[in-house]
């Protein structure tokens, strides 16, 4: 217990799925978290749940990660409410199924805006605050789609590939600036979330197709355990890494 005691974390897209699991895991280990999402009902419910078990541990703010002005407001609110920021989890994401030929320009731009521009803005405005708070960790959620050729996830994979690249540049930049801010990317395979379930149904597939015996289908908690490690000082020498959590899917 207490692996991240005293740390303040900001989790985008934190109301459901992987982000929710991250918030639960971080609070359980002593962190205070700001959850942001466009889903206000789910976000407020999660914050209330966390505060009921760990008083004062959670804050929810509505946020569209494409909005630069809102990023500035959110970062300032976190600093004012909790006194600093040590961990940023850029988790917000969206997937629209489409091949290189069927994807529209509007669909491509939307996914780039949420996942590429959202990560860019989060890192841009969080780095100086994390530095001023004594240092910490940025965790960017990428995907195995940045490693594998999934035609039906064309725009999604492009955005996650950008996240993979930006992560390394941020890590080196912060190291060169002696900012004491680490930055790593997490590349998850299929996890049992509503987003993955909706995508598989749209493709006419069953979730069981991802079952990788003996471990079965990945769970949000599997990713949250990795995020917890990267948020903690236990991972102090891990920087600029891309961490696969896919039960060997990429290497098969």
- pLDDT exceeds cutoff 80 at 26: yes
Give me the domain span that covers residue 68: 8-245
- pLDDT exceeds cutoff 80 at 205: no
CB atoms within 10 A of CB 23: 30
- Spatial separation of the C-alpha atoms in residues 26 and 244, rounded to whole Å: 20
- Assign 25 to helix, strand or coil: helix
Q: The pTM is what?
A: 0.93
- pLDDT exceeds cutoff 70 at 215: no
Helix, strand and coil in the chain, % to nearest 5: 50, 15, 35
- Spatial separation of the C-alpha atoms in residues 143 and 157, rounded to whole Å: 8
Q: What is the pLDDT of residue 212?
A: 61
**Contact assessment for residue 68 and residue 74, using Cβ atoms and an 8 Å cutoff:** no
- Spatial separation of the C-alpha atoms in residues 1 and 17, rounded to whole Å: 23
**Contact assessment for residue 55 and residue 251, using Cβ atoms and an 8 Å cutoff:** no
Which residues sit opposite 128 in a β-bridge?
A: none
Q: Report if residue 252 sits inside a domain.
A: no
Q: Report if residue 204 sits inside a domain.
A: yes
- Spatial separation of the C-alpha atoms in residues 184 and 170, rounded to whole Å: 9
Q: Report if residue 250 sits inside a domain.
A: no
- Overall number of domains in the chain: 1
Please write the tens of the pLDDT for every residue from 114-149. 999 999 999 999 999 999 999 999 999 999 889 988
Question: For the residues 14-39, what does the mean pLDDT come to?
Answer: 97
- Spatial separation of the C-alpha atoms in residues 216 and 158, rounded to whole Å: 27
- Spatial separation of the C-alpha atoms in residues 79 and 84, rounded to whole Å: 4
User: Catalytic amino acids?
Assistant: 156
Question: At 207, which CATH number?
Answer: 3.40.50.720
């Amino acid at each position: 217990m207490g692996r991240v005691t005293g740390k303040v974390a900001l989790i985008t897209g934190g109301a459901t799925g992987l982000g929710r699991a991250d918030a639960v895991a971080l609070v359980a280990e002593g962190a205070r978290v700001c959850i942001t999402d466009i889903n206000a009902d789910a976000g407020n419910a999660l914050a209330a749940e966390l505060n009921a078990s760990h008083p004062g541990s959670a804050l929810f703010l509505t946020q569209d990660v494409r909005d630069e002005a809102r990023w500035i407001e959110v970062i300032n609110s976190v600093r004012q409410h909790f006194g600093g920021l040590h961990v940023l989890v850029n988790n917000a994401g969206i997937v629209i199924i489409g091949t290189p030929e069927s994807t529209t320009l509007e669909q491509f731009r939307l996914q780039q805006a949420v996942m590429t521009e959202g990560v860019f803005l989060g890192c841009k405005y969080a780095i100086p605050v994390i530095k001023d708070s004594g240092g910490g960790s940025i965790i960017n959620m990428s995907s195995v789609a940045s490693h594998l050729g999934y035609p039906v996830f064309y725009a999604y994979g492009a955005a996650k590939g950008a996240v993979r690249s930006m992560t390394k540049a941020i890590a080196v930049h912060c190291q060169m600036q002696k900012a004491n801010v680490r930055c790593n990317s997490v590349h998850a395979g299929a996890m049992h979330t509503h987003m993955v379930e909706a995508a598989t149904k749209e493709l006419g597939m069953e979730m069981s197709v991802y079952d990788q015996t003996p471990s079965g289908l990945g769970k949000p908690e599997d990713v949250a355990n990795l995020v917890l490690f990267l948020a903690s000082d236990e991972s102090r020498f891990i920087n600029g890494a891309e961490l696969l959590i896919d039960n060997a899917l990429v290497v098969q």
